[in-house]
Every structure is written in C-alpha cells, then in structure tokens.
C-alpha cells in the first residue's frame, strides 16, 4: 500500500503531537519551571522562582501574610497575588531565597550566595572621617541576617547594585559616599535612622523609593 506523499507530513505531525501529549500525561514532558515544582514535596528556598505569587509562598511554606511580609520587608498594601518578579524594585528573587533559606534553616550553595551578594570591582572614593553623620539612633533593622557581605578593601559598590535590604549606613560605607551628603541628596531629616533597611523606609518616608537612592548615589559617585 502506497501512502500519498502529501499525507506524510500530516501523519508525522500528528504522530509527534501524540507522543508529546502522551509524555505530558505521564509527567515525562515538562515545558516550564512551574511543571518542575513537585506540589507533593516541601518547598525549599532553592525552588523559589520569580513567577511565584506571594500567596503561593504563604501556602507552600505555611506562613501567614504578616509573617511573610515581615520576613521580606514588604509594604502591607502589597497584593498577595503579586509575583516575586514584579517586586524586584523592592526585593530581588535571590534575596527572597536567602531570607527564606535562613528562616527554614537551610544553607545556600556557593553559587546562590555569590548571586545574592555580588562583589563589584570599581575604585572607591574615600569619604571624610570627621564629617557629620546623621541618624545614629537605635537601629531598627529587620533582623533577617540578609545584609550585604562587606566588600574587600579597595572595592566599591556601584549605585546600580543597591538593594532594598541595605541601610543608608551600609550604602555610605560600601558605595564610598558621605552619609551627610546622601541625606542631603535624598532630602531626609536627621531623625530618619541610617540603620533601617531601604524597603522599610519606603513605608516610613513619603515618596521614598530604592530607585531614588540609586540615582542619588550615582550622582554622588560621579
């Protein structure tokens, strides 16, 4: 029996689609990171992905909204349906992994730790040691232990690398800019603590954004 040559591509296409459908039905075909997360197994920090909404983390990690928001330093008005990738202005996915790894008692791999705390290579600009330093009151940090790793001598953090977990004092130290100049550039009063994470200051200071801090530090570094 001869098969018409025009039917051969159609038969091959349906055979391929049938094989894909069969593989999907038995779990042997995965097309996205979502398919690779086993819902029957506990969620680890290494499983966390940018597509995951906050509500998904609450459910899988058995955390209340208040607990998760406190851990990540998120504004209380953040919608639980917000995916992590949409929060990168406030906190990056790598930071979420690091914070939740500590909460779960897990250890980050060397690769994940390097990703969480990148080390820049620019030449520092020394700040004066006798300058006025505002905001030296009692620290009010989040206590997550997810602060940036101190930079090696002779290196400075570029403004673009500033994260929401950092404090103004850490930015001053690691970006080699004067703390008093930073306060002036951000139009902050001296009663604003230099030891509070930027993502927390967003709730305390009207109009305060991490992107504004990055821009101000970039201008000071230039």
Domain boundaries, the chain: 45-116, 120-222
3-state secondary structure of 197: strand
pTM: 0.46
Find out whether 142 and 111 touch, Cβ atoms under 8 Å. Answer: no
Which pLDDT tens digit goes with each residue over 14-46? 777 776 566 555 544 444 455 557 777 888 888
CA distance 182 to 5: 74
Helices (H), the chain: 8-25, 54-61, 65-72, 93-104, 110-116, 168-175, 179-186, 198-204, 210-221
φ/ψ of 167, rounded to 5, equals -105, 165
DSSP state of 90: T
φ/ψ of 177, rounded to 5, equals -125, 150
Which residue carries 């009663």 as its tokens? 191
Find out whether 44 and 104 touch, Cβ atoms under 8 Å. Answer: yes
- Say yes or no to pLDDT of 193 above 80: yes
Closest CA to 35 of 49, 53, 55: 49
19: tokens are 């094989």
Q: Mean of the per-residue pLDDT values for the chain?
A: 75
pLDDT on residue 24:
56
Find out whether 174 and 126 touch, Cβ atoms under 8 Å. Answer: no
- Say yes or no to pLDDT of 98 above 70: yes
Which residue carries 């300058």 as its tokens? 131
CA atoms within 13 A on the CB side of 120: 15
Please state which of the ranges 14-23, 28-37, 66-75, 165-174 shows the lowest mean pLDDT: 28-37
Distance of CA 182 to the CA centre of its chain: 23
């Amino acid at each position: 029996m001869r098969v018409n040559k025009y039917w051969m591509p159609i038969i091959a296409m349906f055979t391929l689609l049938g094989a894909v459908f069969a593989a999907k039905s038995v779990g042997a075909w995965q097309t996205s990171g979502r398919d690779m997360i086993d819902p029957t197994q506990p969620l680890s920090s290494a499983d966390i992905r940018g597509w995951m909404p906050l509500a998904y983390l609450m459910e899988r990690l058995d955390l209340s909204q208040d607990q998760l928001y406190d851990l990540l330093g998120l504004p209380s008005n953040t919608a639980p349906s917000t995916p992590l990738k949409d929060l990168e202005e406030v906190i990056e996915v790598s930071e979420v992994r690091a914070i939740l790894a500590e909460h779960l008692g897990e250890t980050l791999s060397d690769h994940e730790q390097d990703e969480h705390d990148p080390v820049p290579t620019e030449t520092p600009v020394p700040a004066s040691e006798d300058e006025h330093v505002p905001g030296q009151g009692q620290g009010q940090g989040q206590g997550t232990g997810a602060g940036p790793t101190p930079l090696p001598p002779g290196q400075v953090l570029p403004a673009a690398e500033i994260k929401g977990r950092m404090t103004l004092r850490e930015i001053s130290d690691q970006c080699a800019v004067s703390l008093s100049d930073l306060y002036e550039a951000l139009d902050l009063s001296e009663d604003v603590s230099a030891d509070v994470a930027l993502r927390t200051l967003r709730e305390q200071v009207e109009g305060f954004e991490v992107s504004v801090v990055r821009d101000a530090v970039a201008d000071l570094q230039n």
